[in-house]
A and B are shown apart, each in its own frame.
Chain A
Amino acid sequence: MDWPDKKPGGLDASEKASLGKGVFKKCDGCGETLTTETLHTSFEVCTCGHHHKLSAARWRVLLLDDGHLDEWDAGLSPGDPLKFVDDKPYPERVATAKKGTKANEAIEIGHAKIHRKPIAYGSFVFSFMGGSMGSVVGDKIARLFERAAEEKLPVVLLSASGGARMQEGILSLMQMAKTVAARERHRDSGLPFLSVLLHPTTGGVAASFAFLGDVNLAETGALIGFAGPRVIETTIRQKLPDGFQKSEFLLEHGMVDRVVSRLDMREELAMLISHLCSSPRP
């Protein structure tokens, strides 16, 4: 397992302060107790190889040159087309998510570089309402593909989402059609779309653009599928076999090209881009 070439191993003072030194976490894979600092430094990958969730902010640091994203359309917020209220009104739920995640929505997109190669980059913010795809997420993905086609950039898009955002009802379903159509326009530009499937990717995101990559990479140990395991268990009235819908299962069934450890992701993406963009386009 290679470490990213240019990664700052340690933490700066502010990061240390915010982490709270001496806080411990049990690994979900091996059960060992680790300091949050150790996990942070290793991008939440345990020595046993288990991948814990990584924030969009840390993905930037891990993948992008200088950890830098020149963000596009950061200011978009959802309306409340349905006036949806469950145990609280939808706008309140969005406000809470904004506060809790310090993100504006469940995805960030923009211009970045990997190994000095310019790319259009998108990354879901799973902590923002489960990475659910509503109008803003759908629109930003469409903008990502459209702008990438215009500016002749490959697209690298990291998906982590529970699916459609129920609070936007049928309009969230329409985002599936919108994003796929935009992906198809980008396809016509002759530039690659590298789809990276993170834990978890299900529902409307899985069943739209996420499997339409020229190359699909699945992160080690991620849960990826159309229906969630509980829905399937309820439908078929039996327990699912071990490893069902895990990245390795998808590889075996021909749905992804490669299963990649998070720590190798930057190198893998860089190499794919260099292969797929090596020949001049007709």
Chain B
Amino acid sequence: MASYVLPFEKPVVELVTRVRELRELAESDRQYLPELRKLEEKTSKVARELFAELDPWQKVQLSRHPNRPYTMDYVPYLFQDFQELHGDRRFADDAALVCGVARYRGKSVVLVGHQKGRGAKDNVKRNFGMPHPEGYRKAQRMYELASRFSLPILTFIDTPGAYPGLGAEERGQSEAIGSCLAAMSRARVPVIATIIGEGGSGGALALGVANRVHVLEYGTYSVISPEGCASILWKDGSKADVAAKSLRITAADLHDLGIVERIVEEPPGGAHQDTAQAAKFIDEALNAALTELSMKSADELVTQRYDRFRVLGAITSA
């Protein structure tokens, strides 16, 4: 994969690259081990310090990083016996949204995730992770299937948003998303959503009506893209950095606002520096949540999910 380095991550990338090289050496020659440990510690420390200083707009860039692991990159680390299930039975199969059944820690689950493309050609196929109505109708089909066969639903959110285009409007993008939200809210099984990258508006929420919502450390979740917000409210798309700050879309903000239950740590330098380690952190969080939710009855799960969203908002009574 062509590597892409954001200006602010350069020092960390250099260190991480050296760690990777040294690790290879240490595998064949143990005398490098002490040096490796030292460099790993330094890298972790530098990365933590540097990334702690990142502003929200820089975090947005990280959440959209072209090297960031996407849904299908995590599948081999998290699941066994994955079978992708295609199509909405109405119009088409939408490659911007992948679904399937798989085994997670020995138990069958239903998996639904946005899927971005890697490179120009793949991104045409994946439509940059922006689903059409058929994607959401496929997801809806999966939520109903999961509910029918009592399989937990694990979703992975990573989209700039639902696609705004001619065909999408003709085929009912609004209705497709609304129905997806309805099917998720009705699902009689545990639902856990993990925001692995960009959580763009309603197109992300269609995978987000969950009992538990987790966000990766450099994931974001927003009602509108910072660029879009800036061009509407500030009448200036270049004020995206200001909008990103005002909208409070970083993992820490989301946790403060009660939008997510858990922030999932990322490896030094971000998930794209070590997919395996990122997957391990995601797995820990998923396992803990799923273990807890599996104790609840179907009715309890539906009610808990209802109440979870019912209280979100800021209201004063006159």
Contact = CB atoms under 8 A, between A and B. Distances in A.
Interface of A: 75-82, 84-87, 104, 134-136, 138-139, 142, 164, 166, 168-178, 180-185, 203-204, 206-212, 224-227, 231-232, 235-236, 240, 244-245, 253-255
A9 B205 CA distance: 46
Nearest to B174: A206
Interface in B154-174: 162-166, 168-174
A245 B173 CA distance: 12
B89 interface: no
A181 B259 contact: no
Contacts of A171: 257, 259, 312-314
A170 to B, nearest CB: 5
Interface stretch (B8-16, B140-148, B176-184, B289-297): B176-184
Interface of B: 162-166, 168-175, 177-179, 181-182, 184-186, 201-202, 205, 208-209, 221-224, 228-229, 232-234, 246-249, 253-254, 257, 259, 305-306, 309-310, 312-318
A169 B317 contact: no
Given A166-B233, A170-B259, 12 more contacts: A78-B316, A84-B246, A135-B314, A138-B313, A142-B310, A169-B246, A169-B249, A173-B221, A176-B202, A207-B202, A210-B178, A245-B169
Contact of A181 (B223, B224, B248, B306): B306
B178 A212 contact: yes
Contacts of B316: 76-79
B314 A81 contact: yes
Given A78-B315, A232-B166, A170 B247 contact: yes
Contacts of A170: 221-223, 247-249, 253-254, 257, 259
A122 to B, nearest CB: 16
A169 B222 contact: yes
B34 to A, nearest CB: 46
11 contacts: A136-B315, A169-B248, A170-B221, A176-B202, A177-B209, A184-B182, A210-B178, A224-B174, A227-B173, A232-B164, A245-B169
A178 B318 contact: no
A77 B247 contact: no
Which of A84, A210, A211, A231 neighbours the largest number of chain B CB atoms within 10 Å of its CB?
A211
B209 A181 contact: yes
Given A171-B314, A244-B169, A180 B185 contact: yes
B178 A166 contact: no
Which of A180, A209, A227 neighbours the largest number of chain B CB atoms within 10 Å of its CB?
A180
Contacts of A172: 223
B177 A226 contact: yes
Contacts of B170: 253
A236 B168 CA distance: 12
Nearest to B210: A177
A77 B190 CA distance: 34
Contacts of B232: 166
B169 A174 contact: no
A244 B228 CA distance: 22
B63 to A, nearest CB: 14
A183 B233 CA distance: 31
Given A173-B223, A207-B174, A185 B313 contact: no
A128 B184 CA distance: 31
Nearest to B318: A75
Nearest to A188: B186
B172 A177 contact: no
Contact of B178 (A80, A82, A209): A209
Contacts of B314: 78-81, 135, 168, 171
B202 A173 contact: yes
Contacts of A134: 313
B165 A236 contact: yes
Contacts of A209: 178
B246 A82 contact: yes
B164 A173 contact: no
A86 B181 contact: no
A79 B315 contact: yes
B180 to A, nearest CB: 9
B15 to A, nearest CB: 33
A82 B233 CA distance: 15
A76 B164 contact: no
B257 A225 contact: no
B318 A253 contact: no
Contacts of A232: 164-166, 169
A264 to B, nearest CB: 24
Contacts of B202: 173, 176, 203-204, 207-208, 226
Contacts of B248: 82, 169-170
A77 B315 contact: yes
B177 to A, nearest CB: 4
A167 to B, nearest CB: 8
